[in-house]
Structure 1
């Protein structure tokens, strides 16, 4: 699920299904110039502090310059774990919680800041909440573990014009290159999106009838190793609009039929945490 809106704070929500290993909860918003603290919490049984377990409590504190992590279980708080707060009052915030079998990975602005070992089972989490001095504009929850290399067909109309492919990923710490290909039914690559850290370039191309076309390399290498990215590829009638982290990165004019995109291939030095195909929303960029 993904929604762009202004959420009421305090925010309370029931998860529509269990929080599974591999999934990520994404919370984006903005803090005020006078923000003191806000919290993101994962709950058991109810989205409040009425005595039920709180498997993960994250308290972002501007008054202390710290982020505090803790668990409330069997009626009492455990031992706090602390990290320095990378945000300042008034900053935009992007906080992500990724679940694994034995721990959470917590990211601030797409960089990992904390591994937090589970103190109560992941399977007990049923609700989450956000409280305090924050303005929330985006909440998304989903994803899973993806093997790389990854290949998948896309049923139905595929990535037809008017659709957007969204990929959440993280280049490997020592990675050199990775690629994301959009495939036609005959195996041709309509779009080859190929970040190359060894060349400091993000190359776009097409492979049609076994021949590569002219490379397009305009734009800076704005990806960083070990730092997550949100890639959106909008299929429009005349070409692909490519966005990275919400900002327009490039336009790639179609070199082949735009209605025949029925497969995705991903390979190279990248970890993928989510893949979605959604209806394109108007972007203001």
Structure 2
């Protein structure tokens, strides 16, 4: 089963390179593009383009081009009417040969703020209005694990049918149809409803399953701004508590030498841990449990695969339902954890600790 995230939060996993995909709904100030990947030992160069269209000959609002050529540098530029403009050359290299990276492009009122491995790298000022951006292109000596576009621009009407989206929502209504999907109703707390049958949105997006927000969606996003690169141990309140259909995205990396980590969903009023998720790398286990009234319950350990390993990035989505939590990692369903306390909607705190670097948390 493939995980389908809420509108605006559909990641792309392991796309083939060169990659070309649409950014449905476009970008705006406050949007961000999150990319995890790796570069080979023999890298020469790669690039990321934000296109003013959906073809590789469109105007380019942002050209981001790391070059390993003896004078390592990153070149920024724009292209209009088939003409490249003046280059910004940054003679510094945030990528390392043969290593993984994570990169965030933050769209601000001034320009594109590039952040690599948690560090601000460069701000490239807007030369072309960001509202024109409609596509993403990645090519060169690079492998991509995850692409995610957050906080897209929303258009006024929904109906009509989008290429690959399964024929158009009648009357612009996202309810109606998805058996078991329950997509209508306005997502309490601005979050994901039900579960699409088979996790499939009806045909897939052209250009490699790129999400980024269905244009015209009047549904709210996941609520709140993402938290980037929080220190660990991390503890944060869950605004509005954890209600059914609420989804939490957590992205991070387990460094070499990591032994274990824990993600806890806590009722702050009592200190109970309603859901304890505990990957133990040295044992090859992913343990789940709860701690209610001061006592631990029975451990659950069965999984179909183990995505947690030293030196690996992970992209986790935890969805709260009426009966259980559904946990997906790197786009695959990992396990379900059935609620052990009736008042699970009192869960109002997230805790992350252990041998882990967290790059992103979003409710």
**Which band: TM-score by shorter chain?**
0.5 to 0.7
**1:36 pairs with one of 33, 36, 44:** 44
Does 1:211 pair with 2:270?
yes
Instruction: Report how far residue 115 of structure 1 moved.
Output: 1.8
Instruction: Report how far residue 129 of structure 1 moved.
Output: 0.9
Higher percent of residues as strand = 1
**1:57 pairs with one of 54, 57, 63:** 63
Q: Distance in 1 between matches of 2:14 and 2:191?
A: 30
The verdict on how the C-alpha distance between 1:155 and 1:125 changes in structure 2, with shifts beyond 3 A counting, is closer
Instruction: Report how far residue 274 of structure 1 moved.
Output: 4.8
The verdict on how the C-alpha distance between 1:266 and 1:213 changes in structure 2, with shifts beyond 3 A counting, is closer
Q: TM-score, normalised by structure 2?
A: 0.49
**1:153 pairs with one of 189, 198, 205:** 189
Instruction: Report how far residue 12 of structure 1 moved.
Output: 1.6
The verdict on how the C-alpha distance between 1:17 and 1:184 changes in structure 2, with shifts beyond 3 A counting, is closer
What are the Cα deviations for residues 177-212 of structure 1, in whole angstroms up to 9, with x where unaligned?
632342479xxxxx9x9xxxxxxx9875324xx534
> What SS is found at the alignment partner of 2:242?
strand
**Where in structure 2 are there 5+ consecutive unaligned residues?**
1-9, 154-187, 200-221, 251-261, 279-313, 351-359
Superposition RMSD on alpha carbons, in Å? Answer: 5.0
What are the Cα deviations for residues 73-123 of structure 1, in whole angstroms up to 9, with x where unaligned?
352322314152122211112222121233112121233222221111101
Q: Distance in 1 between matches of 2:15 and 2:264?
A: 36
The verdict on how the C-alpha distance between 1:14 and 1:65 changes in structure 2, with shifts beyond 3 A counting, is same
Instruction: Report how far residue 245 of structure 1 moved.
Output: 10
Q: Distance in 2 between matches of 1:218 and 1:2?
A: 22
What are the Cα deviations for residues 41-69 of structure 1, in whole angstroms up to 9, with x where unaligned?
01223532x4x431100001222322222
The verdict on how the C-alpha distance between 1:80 and 1:157 changes in structure 2, with shifts beyond 3 A counting, is closer
Instruction: Report how far residue 36 of structure 1 moved.
Output: 0.7
Does 1:4 pair with 2:13?
yes
Alpha carbons 2:35, 2:147 under 8 Å: kept:
yes
The verdict on how the C-alpha distance between 1:274 and 1:70 changes in structure 2, with shifts beyond 3 A counting, is farther
Instruction: Report how far residue 39 of structure 1 moved.
Output: 0.3
Residue in structure 2 matched with residue 66 of structure 1 by the alignment: 73
Q: Which of 83-92 and 36-45 deviates more?
A: 83-92
Aligned residues: 238
**1:125 pairs with one of 128, 133, 139:** 133
Q: Which of 56-65 and 34-43 deviates more?
A: 56-65
Higher percent of residues as helix = 2
Residue in structure 1 matched with residue 228 of structure 2 by the alignment: 170
Alpha carbons 1:183, 1:265 under 8 Å: kept:
no
Instruction: Report how far residue 3 of structure 1 moved.
Output: 2.3
Alpha carbons 2:34, 2:103 under 8 Å: kept:
yes
**Where in structure 1 are there 5+ consecutive unaligned residues?**
146-151, 186-190, 194-200, 220-228, 276-285
